[in-house]
A and B are shown apart, each in its own frame.
Chain A
Amino acid sequence: MMSNSDQDFHTGPHEVLLIEAPVGQHHGGTAISDAFIPLWRQRLRIFLQNKLAIASVVYLVFIVLFCFLGPILWHSNQTDQAQALLAPQNGPPTVHNLLGTDPSGFDELGRIMFGGEYSLTLGMIAGVITIVIGTLYGMVSGFLGGFVDTFLMRMLDAFLSIPVLFLLLTLVTVFARTTTNLIAIIGVIGWFGNARIIRGDALLIKELEYSQAAKAMGATRWHIIRRHVFPNSVSNIVTVATFAVADAILFLTTLGYLGLGIPLPATDWGTMLNNSSQYIANGYWWQVYPLAVIFILVIVAITYVGEALRDAFEVRLLER
């Protein structure tokens, strides 16, 4: 699917230089030749060729603006429960409530924005935490290898074996359900899968010629991790990070379903979906479908961006 120039470039005389170039870093000037295109720009180009990915980015930006700037334009009560009780409950869409009201009498459109602020922020931060922990764990495990690797991986097996729900219920009862704590809890529980993937990467890269060469030249382990293993697995880390954010948002939704989401008067999309889907048989469609569509598309969009990033980073894929 890639243009010819990309392929030529990768098989061309600059190949060595390209692979050595740290990801995302500008190589400063075009001293080598006019044909030199910085790696990040090539990748950007591949990314931009993916129409769905662009649409996804646009959609995500729109949703972020909708959630964070929307309340400036669409005024609605989202915090005063007493006042909400005076409003019509489960009310159908009207001019005053474009998407009707929810079971507590809160305006649904404003609620989607309000809940979205929490869901997106939590998903974002928790996703980043999972990726940081997962990367550290995976890198150490994969790079050091041997006994450390076996030990860390078997520990990971153990973590994966404990039912997530039990871990969660325990953690949620120990720590109050504040935003910070929920971020920490999702961050602490969500990194297991990431660690596996990153570890596989580290395992592979440390055996490659350039790592071996660095080792032969007397580079320290830290140097090899920092200058060779990490930069070369950045592509995977970024991709995994996108999925991690999507997973964190989904995770928060499951928490909402179990009634362990962000407590009233604040809310998150999971809690909202759960509350409203209980009433779905009553015909309150405005409480379910608009949010469901927005939510599912957010996850789908993040996944698309992740896939497009993977394609952009994957040199092998240039042939496909």
Chain B
Amino acid sequence: MVAYLIRRLIQSFAVFLIVMFLTFILPYFETGGILAPAYIALNTHASPSAVHAFALSHGLLQPFYIRFWNYFSQVVFHFNLGYSWRQTSSVWTIIVDFVPRTIWIAVVSLVLSVAIALPIGVIQASKRNSFFDYTVTNIFFVLYGIPAFLLSLLMITWFSIGTLHLPPVPNDGSALQIFTDPKAFILPVGALTLLNLAFLSRFMRSAVLDVLVQDYIRTARAKGCSQRRVLFRHAFRNALGPIIIILGLFLPGLFGGALIIEEVFNYPGIGYQTVNAATYLDIPTVLGITLLTTIFTLAGNLMADVMLGVVNPRVRVEGR
């Protein structure tokens, strides 16, 4: 197990480096090459001398490998992500300030969606092809077909402008606002939950369904277990494996899902920062956020694999 963990950690570090390299090299392909950020930060019609000054002060004129080595050594040896080119703060400050905001809405909606999707998935699977199963499946299919931005805008139109007059999301204040002012967060969290549900529910149902056709379920039924005992003792436990994998892989997706939601609801989380940084080629910020997402992704994968070993001892030994 320890050897497996160490191997995975080394691999993860390699992935981390690849991501850093790819993200670092991407801006070079922009129109205008590595000077593109200068043109965007200043103005398309900025004078050559101004662009030159910007490039000089941000170290853009150094060769690629020197820039990369500087960045790499700063990040890996000093945990220093550098300074934003657009905002007067370090990338680390931006991350510390904005990530918690996103994490809270993401976590709350994830908990909500799992709490809804799990029981629904179990019921759907146990009463498959019933009216309930079809109805729920169809509702989730429709949800899956709605683009995130459209769903959010429709929700705003109906429940904020239209009938319920829910307040808009305040775009300043602490990260814990979601708990002090929950009413304002009903819409964004609701939208995110619906989107997660549309995604998760398909897996929940099929995860439980895959288990329900197994021989041991038939055995459990045959020996006279009650329906509830079969479902929750025998089926649910065994369905946990796939569900944990999905949740692990889903973890980084939470950031992505929150991105459009934050943009539409004008909520200053990390997704909002990503959009801005990417639009204005604020390279250090993009790099910092990317590396953070990478760590989340890798941690999610690793956790999923380790947790899988915990709930299903059969896969523990081989270690994938």
Tell me the complex Cα distance, A165–B22, Å: 14
> Using a CB-CB cutoff of 8 Å, which residues 297-320 of chain A contact chain B?
297-300, 303-304, 316, 319-320
B157, A280: Cβ atoms closer than 8 Å: yes
B279, A169: Cβ atoms closer than 8 Å: yes
Interface of A is mostly: helix
Assess whether B71 is interfacial by the CB under 8 Å rule: no
> Using a CB-CB cutoff of 8 Å, which residues 128-177 of chain A contact chain B?
150, 154-155, 157-167, 169-170, 173-174
Assess whether A1 is interfacial by the CB under 8 Å rule: yes
Range of interface residues on chain A? 35 or more
**Which chain B positions have C-beta within 8 A of A160?**
252, 297
Q: How many A-B residue pairs have CB under 8 A?
A: 120
A273, B147: Cβ atoms closer than 8 Å: yes
**Which chain B positions have C-beta within 8 A of A298?**
145
**Which chain A positions have C-beta within 8 A of B153?**
277, 280
CB-defined interface of A238-269 with B at 8 Å, one 1/0 digit per residue?
A: 00000000100010011001100000000000
Say whether, besides A170-B29, A257-B260, A300 and B290 are in contact (CB < 8 Å): no
Interface of B is mostly: helix
B7 to chain A minimum Cβ distance, whole angstroms, is: 9
Assess whether A214 is interfacial by the CB under 8 Å rule: no
User: A162 touches which one: B23, B145, B148, B213 (CB < 8 A)?
Assistant: B23
User: A170 touches which one: B26, B144, B150 (CB < 8 A)?
Assistant: B26
Tell me the complex Cα distance, A250–B26, Å: 25
Say whether, besides A166-B26, A257-B260, A303 and B128 are in contact (CB < 8 Å): no
**Which chain A positions have C-beta within 8 A of B213?**
316, 319-320
Say whether, besides A166-B286, A303-B144, A161 and B149 are in contact (CB < 8 Å): no
Assess whether B146 is interfacial by the CB under 8 Å rule: yes
A250, B274: Cβ atoms closer than 8 Å: no
**Which chain B positions have C-beta within 8 A of A154?**
11, 14-15, 18
Say whether, besides A169-B278, A170-B27, A320-B213, A303 and B145 are in contact (CB < 8 Å): yes
A41 to chain B minimum Cβ distance, whole angstroms, is: 24
B145, A299: Cβ atoms closer than 8 Å: yes
Tell me the complex Cα distance, A316–B213, Å: 10
B293, A165: Cβ atoms closer than 8 Å: no
User: A174 touches which one: B11, B31, B293 (CB < 8 A)?
Assistant: B31
B147, A163: Cβ atoms closer than 8 Å: no
Say whether, besides A157-B298, A253-B147, A281 and B161 are in contact (CB < 8 Å): yes
CB-defined interface of A272-300 with B at 8 Å, one 1/0 digit per residue?
A: 01100100110000000000100111111
CB-defined interface of A173-184 with B at 8 Å, one 1/0 digit per residue?
A: 110000000000
Assess whether B181 is interfacial by the CB under 8 Å rule: no
A300, B145: Cβ atoms closer than 8 Å: yes
Tell me the complex Cα distance, A154–B297, Å: 11
Tell me the complex Cα distance, A253–B151, Å: 13
Tell me the complex Cα distance, A160–B26, Å: 15
- Name, among A161, A174, A280, the residue most crowded by chain B CB atoms within 10 Å (CB to CB): A161
Tell me the complex Cα distance, A292–B11, Å: 44
Assess whether B256 is interfacial by the CB under 8 Å rule: yes
B147, A170: Cβ atoms closer than 8 Å: no
A161, B15: Cβ atoms closer than 8 Å: yes
Tell me the complex Cα distance, A42–B293, Å: 46
User: A157 touches which one: B27, B150, B279, B301 (CB < 8 A)?
Assistant: B301
Assess whether B275 is interfacial by the CB under 8 Å rule: yes
**Which chain B positions have C-beta within 8 A of A127?**
none
Tell me the complex Cα distance, A154–B22, Å: 13
**Which chain B positions have C-beta within 8 A of A300?**
141-142, 144-145
User: A161 touches which one: B26, B30, B146, B252 (CB < 8 A)?
Assistant: B252
8 contacts between A and B (CB under 8 A): A154-B11, A162-B26, A165-B259, A166-B274, A170-B29, A273-B147, A295-B147, A320-B128
Beyond A163-B255, A174-B31, 15 extra complex contacts between A and B, CB < 8 Å:
A1-B129, A154-B11, A157-B301, A158-B294, A162-B26, A163-B274, A163-B290, A165-B274, A170-B27, A257-B147, A277-B154, A281-B157, A296-B146, A298-B145, A304-B141
The 6 closest A-B pairs by CB, nearest first: A299-B145, A161-B294, A158-B18, A296-B145, A257-B149, A277-B153
